Amino acid sequence: LQELQSSGRGRFLLEHAAPFPAFLTDSFGRQHNYLRISLTEKCNLRCQYCMPEEGVQLTPKSELLTTQEIITLAKLFVKEGVEKIRLTGGEPLIRPDVVDIVGQLHELEGLKTIAVTTNGMNLTRLLPRLKEAGLNAINISLDTLVPAKFEFIVRRKGFHKVMEGIHKATELGYHPVKVNCVVMRGFNEDELLGFVDFTKDLPLDVRFIEYMPFDGNKWNSKKMVSYKEMLDTIKQQWPELEKLPCATSSTAKSYKVPHFQGQISFITSMSEHFCGSCNRLRITADGNLKVCLFGNSEVSLRDHLRSGASEEELVQVIGAAVGRKKKQHAGMYNISQMKNRPMILIAFQLVICSHVTHVFPSLEPALMLFPLCQDALQNSPNSKQWGHTFSHWLTLSSTFDPKCLDASPISQVSVNYKSKGASPGSELGTMVPHASDSLTHTDEEGRATMVDVGGKPDSRRSAVAVAVVHLGEKVFGMVRQNQMKKGDVLAVAQIAGIQGAKLTSQLIPLCHNIPLNHVEVSLSLDENRYAVVIHSTCQTWGRTGVEMEALTAASLAALTVYDMCKAVTHDIVIEEVKLLSKTGGQRGDFSR
């Protein structure tokens, strides 16, 4: 606005601008100039975040909007004041005529921005043609930087395709490329720092989105990580984080690490809603107008079109729907109880794999640690298919585009930051207990007690543990050939080990909750013993050691190997679970 006011042409445009149409202005004065159109209900991924476990009933093709109907509605909205259209799904890029749709939208006079939200699987192949057709902006959904976690949750391979799509978008001049990341406790909140680091050398806007409720995704408040909690975590690593200015209608609170090419943003739908400046309307793939993402009130524009409604009649129908729009969250004060379409059927897509009730729920440790446990999945209609979703082993192979390696999983990246606990010299005192031959986890009367580490100095600590799982010749051969019905044994066990390290304090009663800076779990095949050999490494900067975290990681990885192989034989032996080495702490280093 200031730029317009500062120039003669700008002042002329402001003085002579036509008033915003009343039918796109609601009773609270919000002007809706942004339209999201879903091109399809279908998707080439099977993410738990979007799809309820019972699946979704797809609308018959005859009841979906045709290309001509999409263009007709878009033309009407643009004529009446809409300046931005975003194409969503399902996955919009699987629609065969998506390039043609973008081209026809580009011809609409008055439309300033054509955007797309995609899971990125087809982006590298289609983006050059989409750009030529007139695509202005891209949002790519990516909830994890760990390839195995990606493939396990979406039940498809393709992490490298998404990464290639992100790089292709930057190469073609899309600045910024927006990356949508839905943050869920117990699933990917440990990857926040990795995503921020992703913006260091690429012009990205990584948008951390608070987990929102939709039908079938079993939302609960304990899984939601708030904007302020995320911001606090990031500021521990980058205290110089700068807040950026944003437009009035923006849904994002944006920040930038100085000297990084990209930036990060927070979509605070739950903790700090932005309903007061909402300028968005949505049209579903079957032609229903939704004036609020959180509401289940819809008006069928398709039916009015097919019944021969005139343009004036359509305007009246749309205006009446906009006029009924509530002040916030569709008029609900507790949106966790709302009834709505599953996300896959709404013109709003934050796709990749955030609902993980049957995978990594933060308050269900057993299921987190044994991802393919049959008992945990007994109520899932697709449980027999879960085991086939991993790619063969985790290691990034030479077939991956080297650019994909830029996004290292946070579990493989050393991130050093000091504990927020008391430091030496605080009111807790600086006395460090002397080494003792007595047990430290019992009091004078023999009762279990947690050790007070408040007076200990911070130091770098690490630990390495090992476990061996003897499988026998037959099972060993099946694991080596990746023939187990439950899926890739080594890949699943590695994820279980990493998750186990992070959950140690919940499993071992008197262990402290330690902020781990680095976790690595590797599994190798020992043909001489027909065994899987597991090594785990944990690192932290703090007041207590991480040997229990390393031992838990090795143990849980070993138990997961057993769980995935027990259908073939129970003659499996887990042994040699032991600490190999540790560094740091008052008792000094240890090496076996």
**What residues are labeled active site?**
563
Query: Tokens 């916030």 label which residue?
Result: 328
In contact, 499 and 556? CB cutoff 8 Å: yes
Q: How far is CA 438 from CA 38, 431, 433, 434, in A?
A: 66, 18, 12, 11
First to last CA, the chain: 69
Contacts of 176 (CB under 8 A, 6+ apart): 203, 204, 205, 262, 263
Coil vs helix vs strand at 345? helix
Q: Give 384-410 as a DSSP string.
A: HHHTT-S-S-SS--TTS-GGGGGS--G
Q: Which letter does DSSP use for residue 507 in this model?
A: H
**Phi, psi of 430, rounded to the nearest 5 degrees:** -120, 5
Q: Which amino acid is at 417?
A: Y
* Cβ atoms < 10 Å from Cβ of 473: 9
In contact, 587 and 567? CB cutoff 8 Å: no
Gap between the Cα atoms of 50 and 157, Å rounded: 17
> In terms of Cα–Cα distance, which of 155, 213, 156 is closest to 182?
213
In contact, 108 and 81? CB cutoff 8 Å: no
Coil vs helix vs strand at 500? helix
Q: What is the dihedral of CA 29, 34, 40, 46, to 10 degrees?
A: -90
Q: Give 260-328 as a DSSP string.
A: -SSEEEEE-TTTS--GGG--EEEE-TTSEEES-TT---EEEHHHHHHTT--HHHHHHHHHHHHHT--SS
Element (H, E) at 84: strand 84-88
Gap between the Cα atoms of 462 and 547, Å rounded: 7
What burial letters (b/e) apply to 351-374, b meaning 16+ CB within 10 Å? bbbbbbbbbbbbeebebbbbbbbe
